[in-house]
């Protein structure tokens, strides 16, 4: 389906697998996220509206999940369905991975104040000139010394991921607000435990030594970019 974009010059033209039954996030952002499992392609829209068969969106991005294009960055200065030009789905907590006991990726988060610059591997900035605010793609890891034994076993799965991979500033929103894919199986008890983690328990990470090459989102541990302990 062809989609008309407000920011067409920074959007992938598609077509997009978007229809009247495509779930759209509530609230002002109205994100729509669709995965074509047949060709392993991720489609994401911002401010998506079906409009009776004449769909529109603020912006749209297409990400290839396998092959040589899997780590390809968007052009410099391009947004995606979020303000950092990153894929949304890749940073969402998913119920299945938490229940399986392993979250092997960074988790996206929002901030109320972002500096109007971006770091690798982000491609787009939208914020303020206030340097006290973090830039897009700023990564914060949960301190290795933060004790997680008092939390439930499933919450510890998430906290170990926060220690190893961290949280990434991806979009505008509430401070330290990180997200999971919509799933009715999430419990209030699980979420309430995660709310107890203070911002002071995190430390900023310098990722420059982790970049494999310019123009690639590939992340490599090595000299200067050690893989931290995931914690107990």
| Mean pLDDT confidence for 41-62 | 97
Distance CA 110, CA 133 (A): 12
Of 208, 39, 202, nearest to 137 by C-alpha is 208
pLDDT digits (tens, 9 = 90+) for 177-204: 998 999 999 999 999 999 999 999 999 9
Distance CA 157, CA 142 (A): 13
Distance CA 25, CA 48 (A): 9
Q: What is the pTM of this model?
A: 0.92
Question: What is the signed CA dihedral for 25, 27, 28, 34, rounded to 10 degrees?
Answer: 0
Joined tokens for residue 172: 């505008």
pLDDT digits (tens, 9 = 90+) for 120-154: 999 999 899 999 999 999 999 999 999 999 999 99
């Amino acid at each position: 389906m062809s989609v008309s974009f407000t920011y067409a010059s920074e959007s992938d033209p598609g077509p997009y697998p978007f229809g009247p039954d495509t779930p759209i996030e509530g609230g002002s952002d109205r994100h729509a996220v669709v995965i074509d499992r047949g060709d392993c392609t991720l489609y994401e829209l911002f401010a998506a509206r079906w409009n009776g068969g004449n769909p529109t969106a603020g912006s749209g991005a297409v990400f290839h999940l396998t092959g040589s294009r899997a780590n390809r960055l968007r052009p410099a200065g391009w947004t995606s369905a979020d303000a950092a030009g990153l894929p949304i789905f890749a940073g969402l907590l998913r119920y299945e991975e938490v229940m399986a006991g392993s979250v092997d990726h960074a988790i996206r988060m929002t901030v109320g104040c972002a500096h109007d610059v971006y770091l690798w591997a982000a491609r787009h900035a939208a914020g303020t000139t206030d340097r006290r605010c973090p830039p897009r793609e700023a990564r914060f890891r949960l301190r290795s010394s933060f004790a997680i034994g008092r939390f439930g076993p499933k919450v510890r799965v998430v906290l170990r991921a926060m220690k190893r991979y961290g949280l990434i500033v991806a979009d505008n929103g509430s401070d330290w607000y990180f997200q999971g894919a919509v799933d009715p199986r999430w419990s209030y008890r699980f979420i309430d435990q995660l709310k107890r983690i203070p911002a002071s328990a995190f430390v900023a990470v310098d990722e420059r030594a982790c970049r494999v090459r310019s123009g690639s989102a590939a992340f490599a541990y090595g000299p200067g970019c050690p893989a931290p302990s995931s914690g107990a």
